[in-house]
Structure 1
Amino acid sequence: MTPPDLAPHPPLLIVLNAGSGSGEAARTRDIIATGCAAVQRDFQIYEVDGPNRLQACAREAVERAREMRGVVVAAGGDGTINAVAQAALNSGCAFGVLPQGTFNYFSRTHGIPPDTGEALQVLLNENPRAVQVGMVNEKVFLVNASLGLYAKLLEDREAFKAQYGRHRWVAFWSGLVTVLRGVRPWYLHMSWHGKQRDIRTQTLFVANNSLQMHQVGLAEADAPEQGQLAAIALKPQSAFAMLGLLARGALGRLGDADSVLSFSFESMSVRPMRGRGRVKVATDGEINWLDMPLDFRVAPQPLWLLRPDVAPELEATRQ
């Protein structure tokens, strides 16, 4: 694998989602301008000023980065990062992140600081390194993809945040309400590595993020470091039992539960055993309608991310 051919002092083409995080877009612009001016680095900001502008801004930034041999940068939460990564994958561009979201699993896994000024220094001083990308049908996911209960949790979480604000306690409360309401189980046929299995599950979760998996205690946590994804399916159970699983996850012991099926794979096909030709699938927190069957796989090409050589938070979870 050959890294992108960058200019000697590559310009930064930054897609800024003003709606992500605390909404401090002006402060983020000031930090970028001050930091880039200090080292005489060119930059251009593509501000997402509407709900339907993100993909267009991402494509425009990628095209400009290709012309200038620059770096396309996502400044926002996991959804913004996902959209820009979708445009950057296979483009030949290097990719960078200024995390602005609530959980920032992608940036934390790769050692990128949550502070905007510190993250900017990564963009200005680090080299691109290959990072694995997950795919479901033609959609990119960097953290996870899911259907069923987990997708419903994310959908409800966004509705709660729109009403009560983007805070961790809002995410926790919305998740509790969704679990207590429950969802209908899915009947799925899964095939991978020559194996097949029919399951009845409330959620299917496919992970591409070692930090998130280590935190909940899954044996497959290092699958992304080994060129694989991890599938996690939960057997149907009562709301009370589901709350117990959430508690296990919070304590880093989810993998010990008898009601959890998990395994690693490079590619997997999932189809319904009854009905449901199109389904809601969450990719990095964004809800999409996708056609069955769902084909999960590791993308053949990596994303070339500007990141430190060591990710301290991820290393700490392995100790």
Structure 2
Amino acid sequence: METDALPKQAVLVVNAQSRKGAEAFEEACRELTQAGVQLAGAFAVKDPEKIRGCVQRALADRAPMIIVGGGDGSLSSTIDDFLGSDTVFALLPLGTANSFARTLGIPLDVPGAVQVIATGKRKRIDLGCIDGDYFANAAAMGLSPMIAETVPHKLKKYLGMVGYLMWAVRVAFKFRPFRLTIDDGRSVQKVWATEARIANGRFHGGVELVEDASLQSGEIVVQAVTGRSLFGLAWSWFTTLFKLRARKQTTTEFHGRELKLRARPAQKISIDGELSAKTPVTVSVARSAVWVAAPADSA
């Protein structure tokens, strides 16, 4: 067997509370078995608080691969435990935005994702870190944490990205710009910002926002949407969504292995869609931290 081939035995842990989790569990079990992946255990977890414990038990039993079915929040709550382990993390994207799956190039349907798990390869990737809390894809401060903190679960579950956009319009009127300070250890820079993305991967909110971010670069990227107006933030999203040239003029990026961030007023931070931190923070990169299941043709 090739050294980068994926294991053929795995444990499946599905967040049954994720947008498509409950109905996808049986399909995933069936598709994985048909694809030749032997399931040493399969768990549909109805309480999201118990997902991490289920993954930790599988890691303690030295499962060759653990397949986590859920959204970016499920990923964020479990990825820390894979550090220092040879167990492969595999993903079934069952959430709303599925940003990490998009970054890895994993299809967003169950059969397509199972095909990657069955025929893909193991790949070593970096993780981002915010004050000891590791994440795979992206964190944000500004409007995104306001949405994450207040969006009704049923709105997100049944309407998906449309529900997110509807709620974003609702909370936008309460939003205020902030003064962001970035210290890379050599210089200190300050900008007015309406949003800041702390990126290990390219996608955030299901949209490719940070094109220069890479899971294997050894750097963390902080991308600030500069300015003080909500219109400027909307324009930045619009130009990015449609890949207009003007998108580069709406943001300023900072790269490094470790960056210290402060904000005035202090800002809450959502990590992979879950509210988890508050400025001031130190953000850094954990180089080649975990093994993941990736498409066979990924770079």
TM-score (norm 1): 0.80
Determine which of 189, 213, 222 is the counterpart of 1:197: 189
Counterparts of 1:300 and 1:34, CA distance in 2: 33
Counterparts of 1:111 and 1:164, CA distance in 2: 23
1:275-290 maps to which residues of 2 (within 5 A)?
276=266, 280-290=268-278
Listed as ranges, the gaps of 5+ residues in structure 1 are none
Is 1:61 paired with 2:55?
A: no
How far did 1:207 drift?
1.4
RMSD: 3.1
1:1-319 maps to which residues of 2 (within 5 A)?
10-25=8-23, 27-36=24-33, 39=36, 41-64=38-61, 66=62, 68=63, 70-156=64-150, 158-159=151-152, 161-162=154-155, 165-179=158-172, 181-192=173-184, 194-211=186-203, 221-253=212-244, 256=247, 258-272=249-263, 276=266, 280-290=268-278, 292-311=279-298
* CA displacement, residues 62-85 of structure 1 (integer Å, 9 cap, x when unaligned): 222x2x4x1011111111122222
Counterparts of 1:256 and 1:40, CA distance in 2: 43
Counterparts of 1:214 and 1:107, CA distance in 2: 9
How far did 1:168 drift?
2.0
Counterparts of 1:163 and 1:11, CA distance in 2: 33
Q: What SS class does the counterpart of residue 121 from structure 1 fall into?
A: helix
Counterparts of 1:35 and 1:58, CA distance in 2: 18
How far did 1:128 drift?
1.1
* CA displacement, residues 79-102 of structure 1 (integer Å, 9 cap, x when unaligned): 112222222122231111111112
Counterparts of 1:306 and 1:78, CA distance in 2: 16
Q: What SS class does the counterpart of residue 81 from structure 2 fall into?
A: helix
CA 1:152–1:197 in structure 2 vs 1: closer, same or farther (change >3 Å)? same
| Residue type of the alignment partner of 2:20 | S
* CA displacement, residues 248-276 of structure 1 (integer Å, 9 cap, x when unaligned): 222223864545222322210113466x4
Counterparts of 1:213 and 1:283, CA distance in 2: 11
CA 1:204–1:128 in structure 2 vs 1: closer, same or farther (change >3 Å)? same
Q: What SS class does the counterpart of residue 130 from structure 1 fall into?
A: strand
Counterparts of 1:54 and 1:95, CA distance in 2: 14
Q: What SS class does the counterpart of residue 236 from structure 2 fall into?
A: helix
Question: Percent identity at matched positions?
Answer: 21
Listed as ranges, the gaps of 5+ residues in structure 2 are none
| Residue type of the alignment partner of 2:272 | D
* Higher strand content, 1 or 2: 2
* CA displacement, residues 119-142 of structure 1 (integer Å, 9 cap, x when unaligned): 223222333111221111111222
| Residue type of the alignment partner of 1:183 | F
How far did 1:17 drift?
0.2
TM-score (norm 2): 0.85
